Amino acid sequence: MSSSLLLPPASLATERLEALAAFYAANLSLSPRFTKGSRWARRVLAGPGHEAWLLAWLPGQGTDLHDHGGAGRPSAAAVAVVSGELTEFTVQPGDFPGLQRKRLAAGEVSVVDDRTVHGMRNLSDAPAVSLHVYSPGLEAMRTYLLDETGLAPSKILRAGEDW
């Protein structure tokens, strides 16, 4: 067996992810669809050490709080808003974790390191489209519940099964 098989997957620096998300958002030919049940997601590109997903959000649609792979094989990410507006909620770690809220307009990019727990929602009254780059490619997300007792892991969602 080659020792290279034991190496972890390549990871791109967050600055590179940010640049790729902005580049793909501006230059890929994107055909989002909007679905009433939940946000729509489609992988649009797989490149060296990363992959890109297109997401489409009707008003009110969003994610639970989640990380990008938990302790096993986490991915960092960059999210570029292509059109519309999204709101990102990021957990601030600590004994009493709180949520930081950030509005992202079209053209803005948010970077998420591989330990961050966050969620996104379209709180506007118009559809929104976003381009997400993950490195390494996203295999799993762990969802969380946040209440007055703190942050508690909830479900594991896996690529190819749950989205």
Give dist(CA 125, CA 101) in Å, integer.
18
- 42: tokens are 């489609």
Give dist(CA 91, CA 35) in Å, integer.
28
DSSP state of 163: -
Q: Confirm or deny that 132 is annotated as ligand binding.
A: no
Q: Are strands 140-147 and 128-135 parallel, antiparallel or unpaired?
A: unpaired
Contact indicator for 142, 69 with CB cutoff of 8 Å:
yes
Q: Confirm or deny that 50 is annotated as ligand binding.
A: no
- Enumerate the known binding-site residues: 66, 68, 118
- Enumerate the known binding-site residues for Fe cation: 66, 68, 118
